[in-house]
Structure formats: C-alpha cells, structure tokens
Structure 1
Amino acid sequence: MAKEEKILTLHPQGKSGVNILKRRYDFIKDYIVKTVREHGTITFEKLGDMAIEELTDQFDGKVLWYIVTVKLDLEARGIIERIPKTSPHQLRMKN
C-alpha cells in the first residue's frame, strides 16, 4: 500500500504544527476558503457548526478538530485572518 502524503501545518503564533494527511488538509482547506469567501465574514462558531453539519457524513476524520487545525494554518499562511477585537471571533479572507 502506498504511503499517503502528509503536510505539516503552521500555527499563527509560531507554535508547533501537526502532521496531517494532505488529502484531509486539502478537503478542509477548500471548505474553509469557499465558506469564508461566500460569507465575507463568518464567526468561527458558525463555520464549525456548518462544517459539522455538511461534512460529517463525507469526511473520514473529526471534522471540528480539522477545522481548528487547518484554520490556524490558513491564518499562519496569510490566506484568512481573524478579525481583531471581535467577539465572538470572526474570520475573513486576507487581502
């Protein structure tokens, strides 16, 4: 059996990332980017709730754990950003 490709995620505060399967990373990354683009801004809670509802039956991992992990990676890579001083915490695409 071929070994699946992995990716080491990044963390916006420079903490250690985690190694996850690239296919899972890409699946969740595509979902987050699509959803944030569609909404403009979205609370992290709403993103997580939507992901659990829409992805649980088609994803072979813990949806919310991957949403958190990939969201942090996308922040560290400058693709999305947490809007400063928002409560609850809101996200948007970074320009």
Structure 2
Amino acid sequence: MKTETIQTLHPDPSKTNKKIAVDKYEQIKAELLSILAVHALTHSELMEELYQRVKDNFIGGVQWYGETVKLDLEARNLIVRTNDKPQKYKLLS
C-alpha cells in the first residue's frame, strides 16, 4: 500500500521543502496550530511542546517533522515569525 504524500512548501521560494506522509503532516500541523493558538513561542519552546505532545504516538523524528511542517505553515501564511528578541512564532491573525 502506497502512503499518500504531500509536497510541503518553504518560506524561501528558492528552496524546496520535503515530501512527507499526509497523515504525519496533518498530525503535526494540528498540534503546531493548537500550541500556537494559546501563545507565541520561541523555536525551542515550540519544538519542545510539540515533542511532549506527540512523543508517545508518533513514529518518526518529531523535531524533523516539526521543522518541515513549521516551514510549510510559514510558507502558507498560517504562522509568522515575530520581531521579538528572541524571535517567536505565532498564528497569523
């Protein structure tokens, strides 16, 4: 059985992001959006929160998938980086 994949996007148009399994994409996307719906987080905080939420029911590298999907969500204008120091991620309102 062939796994359905999605071509993820990258915020830098000159770069190509990865093709990943749709089910993993949807799971990570839902978690990232859920986390950021509460408050803006730094990259480290966001990845740690994601890891804590999915580590028990996700097969694969949580950080790698988290980064790939985060970049895709940025490219799709669903999340944005703030100008704070340190930089944070938040939902685009």
Which bracket does the TM-score occupy, shorter chain normalised? over 0.9
Unaligned runs of 5+ in 1: none
In the TM superposition, residue 87 of structure 1 has moved relative to its aligned partner by 2.9
Supply the RMSD in Å over aligned alpha carbons: 1.0
Among the aligned pairs, what percent are the same residue? 36
Q: Which runs of 4+ in 1 moved over 4 A?
A: none
Q: How does 1:1-95 map to 2 (within 5 A)?
A: 2-14=1-13, 15-39=15-39, 41-84=40-83, 86-95=84-93
Alignment coverage as a number of residue pairs: 92
Q: Deviations over 1:3-39 (max 9, x none)?
A: 1110011000111111100000000000000000012
- Cα distance in structure 2, aligned partners of 1:35 and 1:17: 22
Unaligned runs of 5+ in 2: none
With normalisation by structure 2, the TM-score equals 0.92
Give the helix-richer structure, 1 or 2. 1
Q: Deviations over 1:50-80 (max 9, x none)?
A: 1222211110110011111100000000000
With normalisation by structure 1, the TM-score equals 0.90
- Cα distance in structure 2, aligned partners of 1:53 and 1:81: 22
